[in-house]
Amino acid sequence: MKKEEFALEGLQCAGCVSTVEKVVRDLPGVKEANVNLATEKMMVQFNPKEADVQKIMETVSLAGYQAILINDEEDVLEKTAIKKEKQLQSLKVRAWVSGVFAIVLLYMAMGEMVGLPLPQFLQPMEHPIVFSVTQLILVAPILWVGRSYFVNGFKALIRKHPNMDSLVALGTSAAILYSVWSTIRILAGEYHYVMHLYVESAAVILAFITVGKYFETLTKGRTSQAIQSLVALSPKVATVIRDGKEVEVPVEELQVGEVVFVRPGEKIPVDGVILSGESFVDESMITGESVPVFKKEGSKVVGATLNTTGSFQVEVSQVGKDTTLSQIIRLVEEAQGSKAPIAAIADRVAGIFVPIVMGLSLLAGLYWGLIGGESFEFVVTVMISVLVIACPCALGLATPTAIMVGTGFGAKRGILIKSSAALEEAGHVGVVLLDKTGTITNGKPKVVDIQVFNDYSKEEVLKVAASIEKHSEHPLGKAIVEEAEKQEFDILPIEQFQSISGMGIQGIVDGKEVLLGNHLLLQNQGIAVDEFNAVIDGVASKGQTAMFVVIQKQVAGIIVVADTIKATSKEAIQQMKALGLQVRMVTGDHEKTAKAIANEVGIETVYSQVLPNEKASVVEQLLEEGYQVAMVGDGINDAPALAKATVGIAIGSGVDVAIETADMVMMQDDLRLVAKTIQLSKMTMMTIKENLFWAFIYNVIGIPVAMGVLHFFGGPLLSPMIAGAAMSFSSVSVVLNALRLNHKLSKLEK
């Protein structure tokens, strides 16, 4: 399956979203199509053997919209920003024109009712022809600047995919056409038709909608600032060393393997490894951590982070889309473009909303005309009000605006959420399952003791162990290698290296068969460990790990390794418990070691001596028991469990690994981010529910009122102008509520 992202043009409301999604999903080979009204983008997953980009774009075009393939995210964002700015300026002009002429028309039509004087020549009863013709002349500029509503609306009707513009076009067209007809009758001498003009209603409706759209566009732009700010982080130029000279070049021209020079106060242009020099680097824009990190020769650095004190040379390791920042932007974009399960409700309603509204408008007109015995003017007023007050925009904006704010807030603080579904599910989690090494602990263990047996020396045991562990990436193995390097031991030649998952490693070191691992490895190889039980228990009770070194089937020694607990782990677990979560630990360590660590951080339930492939089984068991599970791990060995869990959270992991398995990525090695993420989820979902409630309740109340329910019981009839204002306010209020989420989320940091 292939996944591509498209920028869309022409979207007006949730009805448009539903239309585009339907026509694209109906294409052969297309598995999924998700349209985001707030970002005006579409993510399509398809089989390239059956579907292609060109066919997708043609299908969207036939539906009345335009789709543009996004090849260069930064370039598209830049072009989109320019386009949005032009659109905003255009809307501003249109809003001013509509507003000014609408006010004049409103003054003409209703001024005398509130005691405002009219010039003699505009008196409706004395000069009806001048009065009616002047109104038609004054409404012309409003119709011109608002012509897109009519063009798009009627096009959508012809294509049998009516949208919000269709409702506006039908409603205002009815008002204008009836007013033109009345003016014709006035010109024919039937002056009483001067009371049957609805020009000001159409004008005010269009003005309200245009002004509302301007503020909606303005506030929607603020919800997407997170992505724009991330893109802005990347420096545009870099100082590269070519032929021994420093040359300033655009960042996009850098190649893997080139060397760049970074001065104090400069942003690091791309991901790489320091070749020479040292400095403190501010990584807050990537991790959210405000304290600068010391970097030296061999340290990895991330593009867009800020070099503070010293200078250094960096060998480029990733460029373009492969950089950490680019991957973060892609993750956030995908999250904002995806749909939360809760959005399915709004999608189903939006798909049939506009036809239902048109039907209700007709039904109300027929009732009041045929049964209610009301005048034609009354019937027209009711039908226009029903068409205008209905607002599918609010439904379409309810979910994506809140998702954009929530994921954007997280991204700027080192919390990367890959999908809106994950964001929603995180709020339902009941059990948090924590890996131990690298998650609760620092993952940087040290050798604290070496015990030897069978006439082997400590030096020999350590040298053999370091030689075989040199080929391993396990944190415990790295601790042994570091200890040997500290003592300046030579590494012995090794053959037939093999890793045994969850147990240890084996190989031929200097011609001798060597095993290195836990007691399970020895049992697996048929080597008796009973005589070492006391040693194992004593080490485990201190939260340390015993690693057996076996040479030629004989136990040569035990290397004791200790991993320290992260300073923030205990606090983080307390925060999770305060949210009502059960916190449990899963590890491959000995039971006593695991329990010693668990007791220190406040965890009651521990799954110990669990092999990596068995971690997924623990998750599956909890799911079968009815729990929603968040699995938190830091390595590839946790991948099956991360994938199986309701929400998989990779903490402190490289983005590359996280993309493959986890639903969320914590850029800092700080468990406190887990509690913060779950709070982020709960608050975002609450905002979405508030938005959906407002959007639904607005229509549930507004449409019946527009149909004349209040008038049926002796109350007032809703004016089309008030209906237009209410419709605009509903969309703006949903977006403003999403922006309010940002304020509420900022309290999480206090």
Reported residue count of the chain is: 750
C-alpha 39 chain-centroid distance: 11
- Side by side, the strands of the sheet bearing 629-633 are 415-417, 664-666, 647-651, 629-633, 431-435, 582-586, 605-607
- Residue 645 one-letter amino acid: A
Bridge partners (DSSP) listed for residue 665: 416, 650
* 267, 235 contact by CB (below 8 A): yes
Alpha carbon distances (Å) from 449 to 479, 560, 600: 12, 5, 22
* 480, 469 contact by CB (below 8 A): yes
Q: For residues 335 and 429, give the distance between their C-alpha atoms in angstroms, rounded to a whole number.
A: 19
CB atoms within 10 A of CB 492: 16
Q: For residues 728 and 215, give the distance between their C-alpha atoms in angstroms, rounded to a whole number.
A: 9
CA 238, 241, 244 angle in degrees (round to 5)? 155
Alpha carbon distances (Å) from 472 to 487, 498, 609, 619: 19, 9, 20, 27
DSSP string for 41-62: EEEEEE-TTT--HHHHHHHHHH
Q: For residues 381 and 365, give the distance between their C-alpha atoms in angstroms, rounded to a whole number.
A: 9
Coil, strand or helix at 489: coil
* 677, 651 contact by CB (below 8 A): no
CB atoms within 10 A of CB 719: 16
Helix 128-145 and helix 73-110: axis angle, to 10°? Answer: 170
165, 435, 634, 663: the catalytic one is 435
C-alpha 5 chain-centroid distance: 15
Catalytic site includes residue 455: no
Q: For residues 691 and 512, give the distance between their C-alpha atoms in angstroms, rounded to a whole number.
A: 69
* 60, 8 contact by CB (below 8 A): yes
DSSP at 634: -
Q: Is the dihedral of CA 285, 289, 292, 294 positive or negative?
A: negative
Backbone angles phi, psi at 435, to 5 degrees: -70, 160
Q: Which residues are catalytic?
A: 435
